[in-house]
Structure 1
């Protein structure tokens, strides 16, 4: 059996050795990683580490699950800096191949559960395109948008029905696939509601009475989906809207729609504390909103208020201490603070203080932080390039916040994604606080030529960002 399986693995995606072993008793994953940059990948389930899997020099790997610990369902594999999910059941031999240069787009499954996992991957890519769909349709009326989302849902269901006829999916997978479609549908409506509430008030009172009817049937503590991106994205957008609704009941003002405000994030913290019973979900959202609240705070008082609220929650001591440490770090990045001595490293290994970069460029700076481990950096850099072309009087500096041991991965990412090395740097010599910098992801700072922060807490995708940038430039 083992020899037959190895033959199956070694000819991955080729035509040889097609017969599946008739008597296989184990559960396996195997495959190939093209253009690899690491000698291992990690395996997780429900946000908990399972094992490390060695990757050979030729990119091949294989792994057998331990029968006594195996649980069917969704798993996550991580191959720095990317990650993705797969579905597997006992007795399966699932194979996949991926090219790190186009990770999500190139990922393809064969073997047992190939049809299931390729469907989930297809849904992931469609879900990523929902950003563009929302921007295309958020100006239409709520009734029209409801019809649009109904149409999208029916298309997804017909696609699933067609694949089911071809593959005879298990009941367990069909349940997951239907939830995948449902939560994309719910998420589209939540995101649309946020946009019209914030930017098109004339539509706010035209939302049909049954627009949010699905909320009555939501399971906010679905253990099977706790690490699934579609479910997490829906929960995130639901909480955003729910916090706004709470605010409007207390104080009907435009301030309620500022999702970066301490008040909005405080509402999301309180709702999360009361809503989630599954430990991983509860800690995920509470700590996430707490970090945001700390990162968006504008003064010491707001940070201290956040920490006082968190002390009333039942958080593990180490998590609470990390949030306290983050609060102290964030106090360095308030408007008016001097960051001219910030230590940076260029791709060629040259060490700089920020003041030297400012002196060399003779321009004010917009700095933006990013991580190779968060795929949104591609969208972020695309937006920055648009701004860079539009505002040549500013230097837009990318600041990578990953640990020092990831320098080679950072350099490889700059090559793979063709980022302009002239404007890319990495934070260096962070001392004992190095792990906290991951919380500074997507931080935007507008810095004058003296190295003083003039504006912080911004979002480059906010429609008002360019107005704020022009205000900074015209000071």
Structure 2
């Protein structure tokens, strides 16, 4: 009842506001919301990576905001590291309610423009659920797999057709909804050779039906409308990974595929350079694949080859500076190097040097509110590892710059003991020094405070072997 009452109050406010817009020639829309278990006191609204405004929540963690000079399309609202997209069109008055404990799953829209957005968020969640099913289908032969993913696509098209017959949908919504279905289907096709259990990817590619990738003839690699849309960008990453396989096998003498192969990665970057002309799309792909390679590779020669390609081809000076700093940081974090003497804040707001608490074989992990699912899964995994390896010291560090209170609130809300939980005193500087990417990055440190592994992963299949190797020295 409380939320319904608030919506009624907002509706009255909006009605009053609309009466005052006779002198405003620009299009506009209203966006408001209520956030349960708020992580901070603001919401950031943006469009196409351009921040429109930082909106402060009131005492009840609610807000109402008028978007002036509206450009119809997908907008992003971000709170506490989590984010989601909303479709705004002229005269929309959209309210949402969400709980940060289940950000996407709890998100519900009401008001003018709500139905289209509830449809889109439900499809987003449905895609996440279906992904596990699709990964299982990937073990089928190609013909059976194609029938299964075709069936999933047809069911979505049928559902969309029913929605459009029931509601008066705009051309913009129709375009987004169809793109969501099509590119998710294309994504399902692109992952097949990688997820299929057979190790020889070349054999898989050569046995696919001739029409398996027919849709590629119509792919727009420079879609300015979809360039900020998650499903489109996910498809592009897998598509370039896949088509690079064919290119790689033209000159590779080894049929055993490794994604870490420097030649394959250079082939992929070259294909991106040749097929993508949109600067934002190209730079995002360049950056993603370059930083991913550097994180996984320990070969200086290969790293330099990838870095050279990126710096020569990229026109993003800021991105090049970021990647160069990242590469330089990695070079200082090799096995045998001393772990950097960074400053931490503990749960009682006491400052400490991290090296003063490393006096045993130590595992250092990180978490961020931006990656909430990783936070929950990693904390559970660490509890298991602590029980299994009591002789190991586990240090867990929040890397956000939202303040100590925000991280403690998240820990306590999830009933996680705050002992050995820390926060960086200088988050941005510390993130750069430790080259924290991806979020699963884990350090294994010996009792002399020297790095044993700087690119470990507590979820990796070899992690416990790496830990035992240190303990048995």
**Deviation, structure 1 residue 349:** 3.0
Could you list the per-position Cα deviations for residues 174-219 of structure 1 after superposition, in whole angstroms to 9, with x for gaps in the alignment?
1110110111111122223211277476755543222222222211
- Range with bigger deviation, 223-232 or 302-311: 302-311
C-alpha distance in 2 between matches for 1:265 and 1:408: 42
Contact preservation (8 Å) 1:9, 1:30? no
Does 343-352 or 152-161 show the bigger shift?
343-352
Q: Quick check: 1:187–1:234 contact (8 Å CA) kept in 2?
A: yes
- The answer (yes or no) to whether the contact 2:135–2:195 under 8 Å persists in 1 is no
Q: Deviations over 1:63-88 (max 9, x none)?
A: 11222xx2111110111221100001
Whole-angstrom CA distance in 1 between matches of 2:247 and 2:114:
44
Cα deviation code 1:337-373 (max 9, x no counterpart): 22174544333334444454443xx4x3343333222
Identify which of 369, 391, 399 aligns with 1:372.
369
**In structure 2, what is the equivalent of residue 102 of structure 1?**
102
Aligned counterpart, 2:25: none
TM-score, structure 1 normalization: 0.84
**Greater mean alpha carbon deviation, residues 227-236 or residues 207-216:** 207-216
Per-residue CA deviation, residues 230-275 of structure 1 (Å, 9 max, x unaligned), is: 11111122222233333333225366333x4544443333333333
Residue 232 (structure 2) aligns with: 231
* Structure 1 residues without counterparts, runs of 5 or longer: 1-7
Aligned with 1:28 (options 20, 30, 50):
30
C-alpha contact (below 8 Å) 1:369/1:443 kept by paired residues: yes
- For each residue in 1:141-162, what CA deviation from the matched residue of structure 2 results, as whole angstroms up to 9, or x when unmatched? 2222212111111221222122
Local SS of the residue matching 1:57: coil
Aligned to 2:217: 216
CA contact (8 A) 1:75 1:86 kept: yes
Partner of 2:7: 12
Judged with a 3 Å threshold, the aligned counterparts in structure 2 of structure 1 residues 374 and 96 are, in CA distance, closer, same or farther, namely same
Cα deviation for residue 441 of structure 1 reads 3.1
- Are positions 1:450 and 2:448 aligned together? yes
Aligned to 1:333: 333
Q: 1:207 to 1:370 in 2, by over 3 A?
A: farther
Given the superposition, is the C-alpha separation of residues 60 and 99 from structure 1 closer, same or farther in structure 2, using an over 3 Å criterion?
same
Helix, strand or coil at the partner of 2:154: helix
Does structure 1 conserve the Cα–Cα contact (< 8 Å) formed by 2:199 and 2:257? no
Aligned partner of 1:4 in structure 2 is none
- Structure 2 residues without counterparts, runs of 5 or longer: 22-27
Partner residue of 1:55 out of 36, 53, 57 = 57
**Cα distance change on mapping 1:76 and 1:113 into 2, 3 Å:** same
Of 393, 403, 406 in structure 1, the residue corresponding to residue 403 of structure 2 is 406
5 Å-filtered alignment, 1:123-162, equals 123-162=123-162
Q: Which residue of 1 aligns with 2:378?
A: 381
Report the Cα distance in structure 1 between the residues aligned to 2:128 and 2:264, rounded to whole angstroms.
26
User: Residue 262 of structure 1 contacts residue 296 of structure 1 at CA under 8 Å; is this kept in 2?
Assistant: no
How many aligned positions are there? 461
Q: Is the 8 A contact 2:311 2:320 kept in 1?
A: yes
Is the 8 Å Cα contact of residues 326 and 432 (structure 2) preserved in structure 1?
no
The CA RMSD over aligned residues, in Å, is: 3.4
Question: Are 1:116 and 1:173, in contact at CA under 8 Å, matched by a contact in 2?
Answer: yes
Q: CA separation in 1, counterparts of 2:334 and 2:305?
A: 16
Q: How does 1:70-469 map to 2 (within 5 A)?
A: 70-196=70-196, 199=199, 205-253=206-254, 256-258=257-259, 260-339=260-339, 341-359=341-359, 362=360, 364-378=361-375, 380-381=377-378, 384-385=381-382, 388=385, 391-392=388-389, 394-403=392-401, 405-429=402-426, 437=435, 439=437, 441-463=439-461
TM-score under structure 2 length normalisation: 0.85
